[in-house]
Structure 1
Amino acid sequence: MAGIKALVGLSFTGVIGLTFLMLGCALEHYGVYWPLFVLIFYAMCPIPHLIAKRVSDDTDAASSACVELAYFFTTGIVVSAFGFPMILARVKVIAWGACGLVLAGNAVIFLTILGFFVLFGRGDDFNWEQW
Protein backbone atom coordinates (compact mmCIF):
# COMPACT_ATOMS: atom_id res chain seq x y z
CA MET A 1 0.00 0.00 0.00
CA ALA A 2 2.92 2.34 0.65
CA GLY A 3 4.03 1.94 -2.97
CA ILE A 4 0.60 3.01 -4.20
CA LYS A 5 0.67 6.12 -2.00
CA ALA A 6 4.15 7.02 -3.25
CA LEU A 7 3.08 6.56 -6.86
CA VAL A 8 -0.01 8.74 -6.35
CA GLY A 9 2.11 11.40 -4.64
CA LEU A 10 4.63 11.38 -7.48
CA SER A 11 1.81 11.62 -10.00
CA PHE A 12 0.39 14.61 -8.17
CA THR A 13 3.72 16.43 -8.12
CA GLY A 14 4.21 15.65 -11.81
CA VAL A 15 0.86 17.23 -12.57
CA ILE A 16 1.85 20.31 -10.54
CA GLY A 17 5.04 20.64 -12.61
CA LEU A 18 3.19 20.26 -15.89
CA THR A 19 0.67 22.86 -14.71
CA PHE A 20 3.50 25.35 -14.20
CA LEU A 21 4.75 24.57 -17.69
CA MET A 22 1.30 25.03 -19.23
CA LEU A 23 0.78 28.28 -17.33
CA GLY A 24 4.06 29.58 -18.72
CA CYS A 25 2.79 28.85 -22.22
CA ALA A 26 -0.95 29.44 -22.19
CA LEU A 27 -1.57 32.50 -20.05
CA GLU A 28 -3.00 35.30 -22.15
CA HIS A 29 -0.14 37.66 -21.36
CA TYR A 30 2.50 35.13 -22.54
CA GLY A 31 0.72 33.17 -25.29
CA VAL A 32 3.84 31.56 -26.83
CA TYR A 33 4.21 27.79 -26.86
CA TRP A 34 7.97 27.52 -27.47
CA PRO A 35 8.65 26.41 -23.85
CA LEU A 36 6.81 23.15 -24.54
CA PHE A 37 10.02 21.89 -26.12
CA VAL A 38 11.27 21.13 -22.60
CA LEU A 39 8.99 18.09 -22.73
CA ILE A 40 11.69 16.52 -24.90
CA PHE A 41 14.17 16.96 -22.05
CA TYR A 42 11.70 15.38 -19.62
CA ALA A 43 11.45 12.31 -21.83
CA MET A 44 15.23 12.09 -22.38
CA CYS A 45 16.22 12.51 -18.73
CA PRO A 46 15.79 8.91 -17.47
CA ILE A 47 17.14 7.24 -20.63
CA PRO A 48 20.88 7.30 -19.72
CA HIS A 49 20.18 5.89 -16.27
CA LEU A 50 18.00 3.09 -17.65
CA ILE A 51 20.62 2.19 -20.27
CA ALA A 52 23.39 2.17 -17.66
CA LYS A 53 21.30 -0.01 -15.38
CA ARG A 54 20.88 -2.58 -18.17
CA VAL A 55 24.49 -2.46 -19.38
CA SER A 56 26.24 -2.41 -16.02
CA ASP A 57 27.45 -5.91 -15.18
CA ASP A 58 28.65 -5.48 -11.62
CA THR A 59 25.78 -4.17 -9.53
CA ASP A 60 27.75 -4.55 -6.27
CA ALA A 61 30.36 -1.98 -7.24
CA ALA A 62 29.99 1.46 -5.74
CA SER A 63 30.74 3.13 -9.05
CA SER A 64 31.46 2.19 -12.64
CA ALA A 65 32.38 4.10 -15.75
CA CYS A 66 29.01 3.36 -17.34
CA VAL A 67 27.08 4.71 -14.37
CA GLU A 68 29.29 7.80 -14.16
CA LEU A 69 28.78 8.47 -17.88
CA ALA A 70 25.02 8.11 -17.38
CA TYR A 71 25.17 10.68 -14.55
CA PHE A 72 27.15 13.01 -16.83
CA PHE A 73 24.62 12.76 -19.68
CA THR A 74 21.68 13.13 -17.30
CA THR A 75 23.26 16.24 -15.78
CA GLY A 76 23.73 17.68 -19.26
CA ILE A 77 20.09 17.04 -20.11
CA VAL A 78 18.86 18.65 -16.88
CA VAL A 79 21.10 21.71 -17.29
CA SER A 80 19.94 22.07 -20.90
CA ALA A 81 16.32 21.95 -19.77
CA PHE A 82 16.96 24.81 -17.34
CA GLY A 83 19.00 26.77 -19.86
CA PHE A 84 16.54 26.52 -22.76
CA PRO A 85 13.83 28.82 -21.32
CA MET A 86 16.49 31.28 -20.17
CA ILE A 87 17.86 31.52 -23.70
CA LEU A 88 14.35 31.95 -25.08
CA ALA A 89 13.70 34.76 -22.61
CA ARG A 90 17.06 36.40 -23.31
CA VAL A 91 16.35 36.63 -27.05
CA LYS A 92 12.84 37.88 -26.21
CA VAL A 93 10.97 34.94 -27.72
CA ILE A 94 9.14 34.41 -24.41
CA ALA A 95 8.54 36.76 -21.48
CA TRP A 96 10.60 36.51 -18.31
CA GLY A 97 7.48 35.63 -16.34
CA ALA A 98 6.90 32.64 -18.60
CA CYS A 99 10.54 31.70 -18.12
CA GLY A 100 10.04 31.72 -14.34
CA LEU A 101 6.99 29.50 -14.58
CA VAL A 102 8.81 27.05 -16.86
CA LEU A 103 11.80 26.97 -14.50
CA ALA A 104 9.48 26.25 -11.57
CA GLY A 105 7.87 23.46 -13.59
CA ASN A 106 11.33 22.09 -14.46
CA ALA A 107 12.33 21.98 -10.81
CA VAL A 108 9.16 20.14 -9.80
CA ILE A 109 9.30 17.66 -12.70
CA PHE A 110 12.98 16.80 -12.25
CA LEU A 111 12.53 16.37 -8.50
CA THR A 112 9.60 14.07 -9.30
CA ILE A 113 11.77 12.00 -11.65
CA LEU A 114 14.50 11.84 -9.00
CA GLY A 115 11.95 10.81 -6.38
CA PHE A 116 10.67 8.06 -8.65
CA PHE A 117 14.12 6.56 -9.07
CA VAL A 118 14.93 6.91 -5.38
CA LEU A 119 11.69 5.28 -4.24
CA PHE A 120 11.32 2.57 -6.85
CA GLY A 121 14.89 1.93 -7.97
CA ARG A 122 16.27 0.34 -4.82
CA GLY A 123 15.88 -3.25 -5.97
CA ASP A 124 14.09 -4.44 -2.82
CA ASP A 125 10.92 -6.56 -2.79
CA PHE A 126 8.83 -3.70 -4.19
CA ASN A 127 10.11 -1.79 -7.19
CA TRP A 128 8.87 0.05 -10.25
CA GLU A 129 9.24 -3.02 -12.54
CA GLN A 130 5.94 -4.33 -11.15
CA TRP A 131 4.09 -1.47 -12.82
Structure 2
Amino acid sequence: MANHKVMKYQDKDNEEQLHLYLDLIDEVRMNAKQRIARYKNLIARQYDAMVKLRHFKIGDLFLKKVSLATRNSAHGKLGPNWKGPYRVINCKRQGSYYLKALDKRKLKHPWNVEHLRRYYQ
Protein backbone atom coordinates (compact mmCIF):
# COMPACT_ATOMS: atom_id res chain seq x y z
CA MET A 1 0.00 0.00 0.00
CA ALA A 2 1.56 3.29 -1.09
CA ASN A 3 1.73 6.24 1.23
CA HIS A 4 2.43 9.92 0.55
CA LYS A 5 6.23 9.61 0.86
CA VAL A 6 6.43 6.71 -1.55
CA MET A 7 4.21 8.42 -4.09
CA LYS A 8 6.21 11.71 -4.01
CA TYR A 9 9.68 10.04 -4.06
CA GLN A 10 11.83 10.97 -7.04
CA ASP A 11 15.22 9.36 -7.37
CA LYS A 12 16.92 12.30 -9.12
CA ASP A 13 15.76 14.89 -6.54
CA ASN A 14 16.79 12.58 -3.73
CA GLU A 15 20.34 12.28 -5.08
CA GLU A 16 20.62 16.05 -5.48
CA GLN A 17 19.45 16.66 -1.93
CA LEU A 18 21.95 14.10 -0.57
CA HIS A 19 24.85 15.77 -2.42
CA LEU A 20 23.71 19.20 -1.24
CA TYR A 21 23.54 17.93 2.35
CA LEU A 22 27.07 16.50 2.08
CA ASP A 23 28.33 19.85 0.81
CA LEU A 24 26.76 21.64 3.80
CA ILE A 25 27.85 19.13 6.47
CA ASP A 26 30.74 21.35 7.65
CA GLU A 27 28.35 24.25 8.22
CA VAL A 28 25.95 21.99 10.12
CA ARG A 29 28.77 20.77 12.33
CA MET A 30 29.96 24.33 13.00
CA ASN A 31 26.45 25.37 13.99
CA ALA A 32 26.19 22.40 16.34
CA LYS A 33 29.54 23.26 17.98
CA GLN A 34 28.44 26.87 18.48
CA ARG A 35 25.14 25.76 20.03
CA ILE A 36 26.98 23.41 22.42
CA ALA A 37 29.40 26.19 23.43
CA ARG A 38 26.55 28.63 24.10
CA TYR A 39 24.73 26.00 26.16
CA LYS A 40 27.84 25.21 28.23
CA ASN A 41 28.44 28.91 28.92
CA LEU A 42 24.83 29.33 30.01
CA ILE A 43 25.03 26.37 32.39
CA ALA A 44 28.36 27.62 33.80
CA ARG A 45 26.90 31.08 34.48
CA GLN A 46 23.85 29.60 36.20
CA TYR A 47 26.04 27.34 38.36
CA ASP A 48 28.41 30.16 39.27
CA ALA A 49 25.45 32.35 40.28
CA MET A 50 24.27 29.72 42.78
CA VAL A 51 27.67 28.93 44.34
CA LYS A 52 28.17 30.59 47.71
CA LEU A 53 31.82 31.16 48.49
CA ARG A 54 32.96 30.55 52.05
CA HIS A 55 36.13 32.14 53.37
CA PHE A 56 37.76 30.99 56.58
CA LYS A 57 40.53 32.54 58.62
CA ILE A 58 43.57 30.78 60.00
CA GLY A 59 42.84 29.72 63.56
CA ASP A 60 39.11 29.08 63.09
CA LEU A 61 37.68 25.82 64.43
CA PHE A 62 35.97 23.31 62.14
CA LEU A 63 34.43 19.89 62.02
CA LYS A 64 35.34 17.65 59.11
CA LYS A 65 32.93 15.29 57.42
CA VAL A 66 33.34 11.56 58.11
CA SER A 67 33.55 9.72 54.80
CA LEU A 68 32.31 6.21 54.19
CA ALA A 69 35.89 4.94 54.04
CA THR A 70 36.80 6.31 57.48
CA ARG A 71 33.47 5.63 59.19
CA ASN A 72 33.49 2.98 61.91
CA SER A 73 31.34 0.15 60.57
CA ALA A 74 30.56 -1.03 64.11
CA HIS A 75 28.43 2.08 64.67
CA GLY A 76 26.35 1.51 61.54
CA LYS A 77 24.12 4.31 60.37
CA LEU A 78 23.95 5.83 63.86
CA GLY A 79 27.64 6.78 63.88
CA PRO A 80 28.73 10.42 63.87
CA ASN A 81 28.70 12.29 60.57
CA TRP A 82 31.22 14.94 61.67
CA LYS A 83 34.55 14.63 63.45
CA GLY A 84 36.56 17.25 65.24
CA PRO A 85 37.10 20.03 66.17
CA TYR A 86 40.11 20.93 64.05
CA ARG A 87 41.94 24.22 63.68
CA VAL A 88 42.85 25.76 60.30
CA ILE A 89 46.63 26.22 60.09
CA ASN A 90 47.19 27.03 56.43
CA CYS A 91 45.35 27.87 53.23
CA LYS A 92 47.20 26.96 50.02
CA ARG A 93 44.48 28.21 47.70
CA GLN A 94 40.91 29.34 48.05
CA GLY A 95 38.72 26.48 49.27
CA SER A 96 41.59 24.19 50.31
CA TYR A 97 42.64 24.16 53.97
CA TYR A 98 45.21 22.32 56.05
CA LEU A 99 43.93 21.27 59.47
CA LYS A 100 45.43 20.47 62.85
CA ALA A 101 43.67 18.63 65.67
CA LEU A 102 43.48 20.31 69.05
CA ASP A 103 46.04 17.79 70.35
CA LYS A 104 48.64 19.35 67.94
CA ARG A 105 48.42 16.47 65.41
CA LYS A 106 48.50 17.77 61.81
CA LEU A 107 46.42 16.17 59.07
CA LYS A 108 48.53 15.26 56.06
CA HIS A 109 46.25 16.30 53.23
CA PRO A 110 44.33 19.52 52.64
CA TRP A 111 40.56 19.45 53.00
CA ASN A 112 38.09 21.05 50.62
CA VAL A 113 35.67 23.59 52.04
CA GLU A 114 32.75 21.34 50.98
CA HIS A 115 33.78 18.83 53.66
CA LEU A 116 34.15 21.37 56.47
CA ARG A 117 31.63 22.91 58.84
CA ARG A 118 32.29 25.72 61.27
CA TYR A 119 32.52 24.63 64.91
CA TYR A 120 30.79 26.86 67.46
CA GLN A 121 31.77 26.54 71.12
Give the helix-richer structure, 1 or 2: 1
Normalising to structure 1: TM-score of the pair? Answer: 0.23
Normalising to structure 2: TM-score of the pair? Answer: 0.25
Q: Which protein has the larger Cα radius of gyration, Structure 1 or Structure 2?
A: 2
